[in-house]
Each structure stands twice: as structure tokens, then as C-alpha cells.
Amino acid sequence: MKLLAVRRLLRIQRVVIRYRLDDLLFDLPLPWWLLSLRLLLPWRWLPRKRSALSRGARLRLALQDLGPIFIKFGQLLSTRRDLLPTDVADELMLLQDRVPPFDPQRAVALIEAQLGAKVGEVFSRFDVEPLASASVAQVHAARLKSGEEVVVKVVRPGLKPVIAQDLAWLFLIAKGAERISADARRLHPVEVVGDYEKTIYDELDLLREAANASQLRRNFEGSDLMYVPQVYWDFCRPKVLVMERIYGVPVTDMATLADQRTDMKALAERGVEVFFTQVFRDSFFHADMHPGNIFVSTVKPWSPQYIAIDCGIVGSLTDEDQDYLARNLIAFFKRDYRRVAQLHIDSGWVPANTKVNEFEAAIRTVCEPIFEKPLKDISFGQVLMRLFQTARRFNMEVQPQLVLLQKTLLNIEGLGRQLYPELDLWSTAKPYLERWMRERMSPKAVLGNLYSQAEQLPHLADMTRDLLERLSQPHLHNSQLPERQQRGDRWALRLLGAGLLAGGATLAAGAASLSAPAAWPAWLMLAAGLYLVVRR
């Protein structure tokens, strides 16, 4: 273990003692043998001053002192008012955009170093006092020389060493958990931490965030659902981002939203639609949608539009995961638990020898009680615990590639609970998913897939020609190749032929109801595949 990581652990311990976070732990209804551990903590024997800070304030300040990874954990917790006491949730909300800023003069120096010019040369006005401050960066208001009102985002200095030390401990804990616990191995903690490592380092690169914002803006161009501010690329650097300044109501400012008579039901339902649009239509979703990053437009309160900022963390799904997830959700909304169970087996999320009827009964037991209930009447804490017990019983493994999506869904669900507790999540999401599946299987979509596969034919033809030349002219090629590689070439040719047969059969089945021109690639692939498989 590196010395810096050890020092980091001591730092964490000092913060825990300073804010007496152990009090929060021992206030929980724990077993007697865990409560007795209080006697083994030496600092609990020392006299201490009575703190005037509330438990929520102590937790917030501790997470704030410990840096980005801990602050982001607090941001996620702040959206789960169903799992936290109100006083704690209120304090953790301050972590969303009101983390203490770093020295404004240092921010100016960083901006000038990145832009290679004085602030006054780039902006006609620059507000030294930050507009907002969060875990990774802080934001200053400004005006470009051309007159546009913008915000300038600058990364906090000195974050990488702290993040590296925290990640070192997370990896150590994850590896230890995998070695000693079968339950932990199912959760793939090392892979999860590895994915998080990539995510947090990507967030430090503001050019990546600018690219994400530009893509998200294109995806929702002209949409009434969500607006994404414009990026000014000429002034973007790895540690500085300049983008359009937006004027909206913070999504958690319930009083202002009520004053402007915002349709809260429509706002909550549109939040669900925005999420599913990003995940299924675009396969590109904003994965840091805590309330500090979401505003509501003041233009049409009767038809509310979201405004999204801070696109440093985005996620995407493979076609396979997207398809399985959609089918699972549709079956779930229809209460077709056998279909849900079978899909989990087919996708490999549970072992292949799982008994479908037993798994179906377990899923029904967990899910049936939450249907036809608004969000306010559902205890997702209890649901998650029962789901985890079911997963353990059936050796269900966590899918690391879906962790970011699950985190985003928790944020969205928590936000919906605040905006409109009467929201029926199931009836809101079901029509969208069914429409998406119909569009996915429409003749137009199938034809598009056929032609995209047909575009690969020239490449396959080149591969086939090269292999045929090597095998048909052994006097030119085989004398220079070992026998093992010659056998490999023959097997590669047969595998290519089998692939062409399978692809051709798929295309032929899909093109059966289409015009003749759409079917010719299928017959060409079938003929080529058959020849390659049967030739010697």
C-alpha cells in the first residue's frame, strides 16, 4: 500500500472522529454485539465538547471535507428522501451545487492559463464570485465580447491525487470482499469500481463534457421535453468549459414552481419520458441527473420543459442490453413474471439451470405488492432489500455495465417522488416502451437494419477473396506458412462460411415481406456461405 493511500485513510479517520459520524451509526437499531463495539473505540472515552451542529450538518460537512467521491455519494443520497430522515436529506441537498468554492483568484489564473489570454481579453464581463460550486468544478458568470451571456466552468485544482487515493482504497475493499464473500463476487465490486474510476476521471476532462453536451443537445434539438445549453467550442479546454447561460427554476424549488403554476404532473411524467427517450431512442443518457443539474424553463409552465446541465457523466447501452432491458421492463409492466424470469435466464443474468417456475414465483412475490400504487406509497428501500435477497437465492449476478443506468434511474425516481408523489410510474413508462418496441420492429427499421448489414458485404467479400487466394495457390503462400497456420486458415474459411449462412438466413427471414431488391444480399450470402463450408 502506498504511503499516500495510508495517509488518506488516516485523514478519513480524523474526519469521522471530528464530526463524530460514529454517533450516526450507533444511533441505528443495530444488534447488541455491534453496539458493544463502541467500547473499543478509544476516542469515545475522551471528553468532548457538545456540538451545536445537527446530525445532517455533520454528515454534510464530513462528506464535503473528504472530497469528490464522498460528495457524489452524498448527492445520490440526497435524492432518496424515502430512505433518509428529512433533516439529513435537506442538508445533503446542499452538496448538489453549494459546496464551498475555492479561491476565485486561483480560478481566474487557471482560466487564463488554459485560454492563453487574460480574462478581460476574452470576456467583456467576468464575475469573480462564483455562481455555483460543486464537487469537481465551480462556475462563473460572464459575457463574451460578441454579447452572449455565458457561464465559465473551471475544474478544481488538486483533485486527481485525492481521487486516486480514494480509488485505491475502494479497489482494496472490493478485492477483499470478492475473496471472502460469495455474495460480493456476484456483485462484481472490482468491475464496478473500475467502471467508476473511468467515469470520475472522464468527468475531470471538460472537453469530454463539452462533447457530451453537444451530442445531447443534438438529440433533443427542437424538443419540448428538454433543452441543453449551447457549447462555445472556441473557448473550451480540458479544464475550462464555456457554455450558454440558462435562466430557469431549480427543479427542487417547489415554491417558485408552484407560484408560476407549473403543471407538476406533466413535469414528473415528462421526466420519465426524457429518461426512457435517452436510454432507448438514443442509447445516450445523462447519468448525473441529481437535482442540482436540472432546471425547469419558465416559458411555458403549463407545458414544462427541462433544462439539463453538467453532462460530464453519460452512459450508453449495447444493442443487446438495450433489447433485453426493454423486453424485461415491458414484461414487468404487464406482470408477465414468467417472461421476466425466462429473459433473465436467456440473457445469462442468472444461471442457465435456474428453475423458471421458482424464479417466477420469487419475482412475483417482490413485485406484485408495488403495482397500482403511487410513488409516495412505495417503500423502495424494502423493495431493494427483497430484490437483493432474491438475487442471492438464485445466484443472480450484478451487471456492471448497467450500474450507471441503475444509479440514474434511482435519481429520476427520487426526483419524481419530490415533484409529484401521486405519479404512477408504471402507467407512464409502459406506453413509451411499447411504442419504442413497435417502432423497432417496423418495416422501415427492419429495412434499415438489412441495408446496414448489406454494407458489410464488400468487407466480407475482401476477406473471402484473400483466404481463397491463399488456399487455392499453395505454391505461393503455403510454402511460407507453417502447417498449423494453414489448418487455421481452412477453419477460418469454414467459420466465415457458417457466419455467412447464418447471416443470410437472418436476412432472408427479415426480407421475406419486403421487395425483391431487399432480398438479394441474403441470397448472395447464402450462396457464398454454402460454397465456403462444403469446399475442401
In one-letter notation, the amino acid at residue 382 is: Q
One domain for residues 434 and 485: no
- Residues contacting residue 364 through CB under 8 Å, at least 6 positions apart: 335, 337
Residue 484: what pLDDT? 47
One domain for residues 494 and 437: no
Q: How many domains does the chain have?
A: 4
Q: Which residues of 273-298 are buried (b: 16+ CB within 10 A; e: fewer)?
A: ebbbbbbbeeebbbbbbbbbbbbbbb
Q: Are 197 and 167 in contact (CB under 8 A)?
A: yes
d(CA 19, CA 24): 10
CA R_g for the chain: 28
Q: Is residue 182 part of a domain?
A: yes
Catalytic residue positions, numbered? 288
One domain for residues 171 and 37: no
Domain that holds residue 176: 159-201
Q: Is residue 119 part of a domain?
A: no
Q: Is residue 341 part of a domain?
A: yes
Average pLDDT, 10 consecutive residues per value, the chain (536 residues)? 68 80 69 69 66 80 83 74 75 80 92 93 94 89 94 92 82 78 69 79 91 95 94 95 93 89 90 88 86 88 92 85 82 85 82 87 83 68 66 72 74 78 78 77 56 55 58 51 52 60 58 47 61 57
Q: Is residue 213 part of a domain?
A: no
One domain for residues 86 and 186: no
DSSP sequence for 429-450: HHHHHHHHHHHHTSHHHHHHHH
Q: Is 119 left (phi over 0), alpha (psi -120 to 50) or beta?
A: alpha
d(CA 207, CA 205): 5
Query: How deeply is 301 buried, as exposed, middle or buried, from its count of CB atoms within 10 A (0-12, 13-18, 19+)?
Result: buried
Residue 518: what pLDDT? 46
One domain for residues 320 and 413: yes
One domain for residues 350 and 434: yes
Residue 127: what pLDDT? 94
d(CA 97, CA 116): 28
How do beta strands 306-308 and 132-133 pair?
Answer: unpaired
In a 3-state reduction of DSSP, which class is residue 511? Answer: helix
Q: Is residue 423 part of a domain?
A: yes
One domain for residues 449 and 368: no
Residue 319: what pLDDT? 80
Q: Is residue 230 part of a domain?
A: no
One domain for residues 348 and 487: no
Residue 158: what pLDDT? 87
One domain for residues 32 and 75: yes
Residue 516: what pLDDT? 45
Q: Is residue 153 part of a domain?
A: no
Residue 514: what pLDDT? 42
CA distances from 29 to 43, 121, 519 (A): 22, 60, 67
Q: Are 423 and 414 in contact (CB under 8 A)?
A: no
Q: Is residue 105 part of a domain?
A: no
Boundary-marking domain end, from 424, 441, 458? 441
